[in-house]
Structure 1
Amino acid sequence: MHKITTAAAGLCLAVVAGLAMAPSANAATPCPTGALCIRETNGTILDRNIFYSYGYHNLSNVIGKRVLVHNQTGGAGFRVCLGYNGTNCGNVLRWTGESAPYDMTPINSVVLVR
């Protein structure tokens, strides 16, 4: 009986944690086709966090865990960078769709690449 109670409590905790981390489908603002977007914690996307053009984009007040939404087309990718002006960047990412919540606090720019 103890194992069943423990398993049920763990399942409830996992469901609650998942709901707290991801915005609901109804509350989430869609990211336009051809863009990289950074979703706010409440599920919205601010105009200043929608990026279409290749090159670097400096971020302002983007801190905490955020969902990145990659809707670029044609195999385009992006990089997240610790420095401003696209410096000290990670690898090019080419997956499409939504990321798991990502800690954007140390990130100061993103770079869109072909």
Structure 2
Amino acid sequence: MRKITMTLTALSLTVGAGLAAAPSASAATPCPSGAVCIREANGDILGKNIFYSYGAHNLDNVTGYRVVVNNQTGGAGFRECLEYDGGNCSPVYRATGDYPAIDYGPINSLVLVP
């Protein structure tokens, strides 16, 4: 019986530690008002991945699955582009909030549009 109790205790500690370490939406860094941001895998937003101005923004070392947050105001949107300087882009996304994670390996720039 003692062995079962110790095993269950160890299991609950392991599971509890895993849950505590997992990032949650509330723990993620907020995207500033008026910006489009790209989240790191851990939920952080690096300064280099916060964009305020309209036009093309080339991405530097942004790979893997990432979440984009559109926190622009006034219905402004963004496009994800396969080429640098805004070439070969997606349609314009205007909804505010977090977008589903996609693989940013082939994405080389974002274009912010009014």
Q: Which runs of 5+ in 1 are unaligned?
A: 1-18
Letter aligned with residue 94 of structure 2: R
Q: Secondary structure at the match of 1:82?
A: strand
Partner of 1:109: 109
Letter aligned with residue 32 of structure 2: P
Q: Sequence identity of aligned pairs in percent?
A: 68
Shift of residue 23, structure 1, vs aligned partner: 4.1
Q: In 2, distance between residues paired with 1:23 and 1:109?
A: 27
1:25 equivalenced with 2:11 (yes/no): no
TM-score (norm 1): 0.79
Q: In 1, distance between residues paired with 2:26 and 2:81?
A: 31
Partner of 1:6: none
How many aligned residue pairs are there?
94
1:65 equivalenced with 2:65 (yes/no): yes
- Write 1 or 2 for the structure with the bigger share of strand: 2
Q: In 1, distance between residues paired with 2:55 and 2:61?
A: 20
TM-score (norm 2): 0.79
Q: Secondary structure at the match of 1:100?
A: coil
1:92 equivalenced with 2:92 (yes/no): yes
Letter aligned with residue 37 of structure 2: C
Shift of residue 76, structure 1, vs aligned partner: 0.4
Q: Which runs of 5+ in 2 are unaligned?
A: 1-18
Moved over 2 A (4+): none
Partner of 1:46: 46
Aligned residues of 1:23 and 1:41 also touching (Cα < 8 A): no
How well do the aligned residues superpose, as a CA RMSD in angstroms?
A: 1.5
Shift of residue 63, structure 1, vs aligned partner: 0.4
Q: Secondary structure at the match of 1:88?
A: strand
Letter aligned with residue 100 of structure 1: P
Aligned residues of 1:64 and 1:104 also touching (Cα < 8 A): yes
Letter aligned with residue 86 of structure 2: G
Shift of residue 48, structure 1, vs aligned partner: 0.2
Q: In 2, distance between residues paired with 1:23 and 1:56?
A: 30
Letter aligned with residue 111 of structure 1: V
